[in-house]
Structure 1
Amino acid sequence: MSLEFEKKLEAAAQSANEMYIDALNVCKTEVPKLFRFTFRDCSSSPLLNSEETAQFFSFITKLDSVKRMPELQIIKEDGFFRLNNLDQLKQMINELRPVIMNQKDKCNFNRINSFCYRKLSNEDPDQGLCIKVFSETNDDITGVYKSVLDEHAKAVRKLIENSEFDYLYNVVLQHADQERNPIFQKDYASGEINYKIIIHALKIIHIKKLLRFHYSLINQIVFPKMGSL
């Protein structure tokens, strides 16, 4: 691998990590390492309606499908270096589109966060699902957990705002955009698009980390356990 190529890869990884650290600055509240959920519902309605069931199956399945950042496979072809597993990175980015970008999608993280907040705030199980969170010493930390979820959702928003996911989804990976097509052509010709894809694949991993507390709660009420596709 050329020294220049190696330096650009290192710079891409550093850029993604710095943005992740910056987003983490909004996460001030800490939750104990060990905690448990309790669920109560004394209403006559199902624990989850059909829309919520579909919503959570999709959310969990999509996050489960993002495992870890694959090792980059750099090959030399016709005198040029290129990524041999670029499709893996593109798949990772595409997999979480409804979770991070499609505001109207049922499994969007903002909708997941809203559901968690409502159920953690409900004090009356006669009105529907009531979720509480307790520490290892049985202290009620429901309020703390709500703050953690809210802060981590804000961190995800901040990371997305400081990224080019919209450009990748709507110009490069899935759609055509007349106004931004010249940018795409320039990035393609220069090879810069490869580094942008690497950076955003790394950000997908970071976003999954930021959503781990939402995942932990939702995963408790999803049956059967689907696993990744």
Structure 2
Amino acid sequence: MASFGSIRSAIFDREEKKQQYQADILGLNAYDRHKKFLKEYVGFYGGEKQKQEQLPIKTDQDTLRDGYRFIRSEEDDMDHSWEQRLVKRYYDKLFKEYCIADMSHYKTGKVGLRWRTEKEVISGKGQFVCGNKHCDEKEGLASYEVNFAYFEAGENKQALVKLVTCERCAKKLLYKKLKEKENKEKRLEKEENRKKKREREETDDDTRKDHERPKGKRASKADDDDDDDVDNFDRYLQGMFL
């Protein structure tokens, strides 16, 4: 059994440590106290224990993102896993007649398409209102059948879809083709202008050569004509005396 003196000494030591600890705590600011308390908490309640690895939690949104297909095939419908049932249930809620387009990057020829939701069908978006996601024009609409080429599930796919747009957004939809046509016409025009320029330069060279032809050749031709006249006159005189 411990003696009274040892018990009293232990109590005094504990009180002294407590006072020293409080003095150390009071000398720290709020942030340093926070770090000290957190370090002591982790060390006391399991700093030596191994942390269990937490597996990533796959939400319904992740399942839809991974399993969604713009146009489902028969093979997709034959898969009866709960992930595919969830995706098909979402797919069946979509209205797959007209599309909604995202033309944010139309200048690069990249246009994103998706099916309409129930809310968009009720408001007329994509049918009675321009199908561009960022346009609410209701006048001058026209329907287009678009060959939608996209990459999905590691494959390149194509599908013909309907898209209703106003005149301004239709130009955005065809921007890349119109730009290529315009550039081609400009290139042909430049080639035609270069061709005409070469022809004019060749004509000017021929004309300049004619003007620069030496005059000595003309003189020699005139001398030949004079010699012919002399010969003819001599023959004429001989004929008179015969």
Instruction: Give the TM-score band, short-chain normalised.
Output: under 0.3
Query: Bigger relative contact order, structure 1 or 2, given CA contacts below 8 A and separation 6+?
Result: 1
Instruction: State the TM-score, normalized to the length of structure 2.
Output: 0.17
Q: TM-score, normalised by structure 1?
A: 0.18
Q: Which has the higher strand share?
A: 2
Which is greater in Rg?
Answer: 2
